């Protein structure tokens, strides 16, 4: 039995947006926390959604806002190693939240046979800060080629590949370019990697062959682009075990094509917090069961839709349709590309 009036503690593994969002939700529930046509270089509109209610933010900006808003300051017993000293310490809490990403080590403990599914492609990614080059030829050119920048997300399809381009706050352009390739060797606990100068130079050369000059130039002028290995997994059957619960990418690794990853993370945290607040300290298992009941059907369908959409845009094989060709696609085929087709789009 939990002592009357005792404030419960959650141990949150992971300091990304999933972990910080969960910390906010549990604090509100009264808990403490520790923790394009490549040949002709012409573009055409395949599908357009004027009423898409979507907001884009730079990951670092959103993370900073959430982190700075946390208060400064089990039973689950966690042993952790302090990297600076090598000391092993114990952290005690009533709930362990696994918010440690798609390569979650906590999930691996409960699901040792679990494997991520490689999508068949990686993504070059970069953010161009144009705050000091707003009147440059590059920025004038990209805004002429993509006139709705700042008001929409552009998804550009070429043969066997696609890119994403949109403007962030504070005069930044975010871009991604998905490239079909064999599965790379993933080292450590990250699905992103820094790249060599030779790799970047080769990427620039390929971009000039595939994309219109304005987009290729943005890619070329972006400092420190990096590679993101794209993985997801088949939906899990359970997302909690005893008083250990998965949130974010630990619960539902997904490809980014819907795009719902951050949305799913924040909703996981919100629902978990509301369920714990509703059931109280004495019925933590009931709270986790309700969290799973609410979130698992939603995130499972969204993961599978993101997987399907990525394969359509990359012209990869699907069992129920021919590969998508942007140059010969019918109107009904193009409607499949709309983000609002995502299951549970409005939540």
Q: What is the pLDDT of residue 308?
A: 94
Structural domain contains residue 103: yes
Structural domain contains residue 346: no
Q: What is the pLDDT of residue 288?
A: 96
Q: Which of 215, 232, 249 is the last residue of a domain?
A: 232
Q: What is the pLDDT of residue 69?
A: 61
Q: What is the pLDDT of residue 327?
A: 81
Q: What is the pLDDT of residue 30?
A: 74
SS3 state of residue 81: strand
Residue 77 has pLDDT above 60, yes or no: no
pLDDT average, residue stretch 40-52 = 62
Q: Which of 165, 198, 232 is the last residue of a domain?
A: 232
The pairing of beta strand 172-180 with beta strand 192-193: unpaired
d(CA 235, CA 304) in angstroms, rounded, equals 8
When pLDDT is cut at 50, 70 and 90, the band that residue 44 belongs to is: low
Q: What is the pLDDT of residue 335?
A: 86
Q: Which tens digit of pLDDT belongs to each residue from 236-252?
A: 999 999 989 999 999 99
Q: Which residue, 318, 328, 272, is CA-closest to 296?
A: 272
Could you list the residue range(s) of the whole structural domain that residue 251 is in?
9-115+234-341
- Could you tell me the CA-to-CA distances from 22 to 77, 130, 143, 207, 271 in Å, in that order? 19, 33, 38, 39, 9
When pLDDT is cut at 50, 70 and 90, the band that residue 208 belongs to is: very high
Q: Which tens digit of pLDDT belongs to each residue from 257-313?
A: 987 888 899 999 999 999 999 998 889 999 999 999 999 999 999 999 999 999 999
Structural domain contains residue 3: no
- Could you tell me the CA-to-CA distances from 268 to 121, 253, 274, 285, 308 in Å, in that order? 27, 13, 10, 16, 22
* Side-chain half-sphere CA neighbours of 249 within 13 A: 24
Residue 1 has pLDDT above 80, yes or no: no
Residue 76 has pLDDT above 50, yes or no: no
When pLDDT is cut at 50, 70 and 90, the band that residue 228 belongs to is: very high
Residue 63 has pLDDT above 70, yes or no: no
Structural domain contains residue 306: yes
34 shares its domain with 182? no
Task: State pTM to two decimals.
Answer: 0.81
Q: What is the pLDDT of residue 134?
A: 94
Q: Which residue, 335, 245, 347, is CA-closest to 297?
A: 347
SS3 state of residue 287: helix
d(CA 310, CA 306) in angstroms, rounded, equals 6
321 in the Ramachandran plot: left (φ > 0), alpha (ψ -120 to 50) or beta? beta
276 shares its domain with 328? yes
Q: In this predicted structure, which of 91-95, 330-334, 337-341 has the lowest mean pLDDT?
A: 91-95
Structural domain contains residue 278: yes
């Amino acid at each position: 039995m939990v002592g009357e009036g005792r404030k419960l503690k959650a141990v949150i593994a992971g300091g990304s947006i999933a972990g910080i969002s969960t910390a906010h939700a549990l604090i509100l529930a009264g808990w403490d926390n520790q923790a394009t046509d490549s040949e002709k270089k012409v573009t055409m509109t395949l599908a357009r959604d004027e009423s898409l209610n979507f907001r884009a933010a730079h990951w670092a900006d959103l993370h900073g806002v959430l982190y700075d808003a946390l208060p400064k300051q089990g039973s689950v017993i966690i042993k952790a190693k302090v990297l600076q000293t090598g000391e092993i310490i114990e952290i005690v809490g009533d709930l362990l939240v696994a918010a440690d990403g798609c390569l979650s080590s906590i999930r691996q403990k409960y699901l040792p046979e679990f494997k991520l599914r490689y999508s068949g492609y990686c993504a070059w990614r970069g953010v161009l800060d144009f705050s000091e080059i707003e009147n440059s030829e590059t920025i004038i050119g990209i805004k002429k080629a993509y006139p709705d920048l700042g008001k929409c997300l552009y998804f550009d399809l070429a043969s066997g590949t696609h890119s994403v381009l949109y403007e962030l706050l504070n005069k930044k352009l975010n871009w991604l370019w998905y490239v079909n390739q064999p599965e790379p060797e993933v080292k450590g606990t990250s699905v992103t990697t820094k790249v060599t100068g030779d790799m970047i130079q080769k990427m620039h050369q390929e971009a000039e062959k595939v994309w219109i000059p304005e987009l290729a130039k943005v890619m070329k002028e972006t400092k420190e682009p990096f590679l993101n290995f794209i993985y997801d997994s088949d939906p899990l059957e359970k997302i909690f075990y005893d008083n250990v619960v998965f949130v974010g990418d630990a619960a539902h690794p997904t490809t980014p094509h819907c795009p719902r990853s951050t949305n799913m993370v924040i909703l996981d945290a919100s629902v978990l917090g509301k369920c714990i607040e509703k059931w109280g300290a004495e019925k933590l298992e009931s709270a986790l069961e309700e969290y799973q009941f609410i979130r698992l059907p939603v995130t499972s369908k969204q993961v599978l839709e993101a997987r399907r959409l990525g394969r359509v845009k990359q012209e990869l094989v699907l069992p129920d349709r021919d590969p998508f060709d942007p140059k010969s696609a019918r109107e009904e085929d193009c409607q499949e590309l709309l983000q609002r087709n995502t299951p549970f789009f409005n939540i």
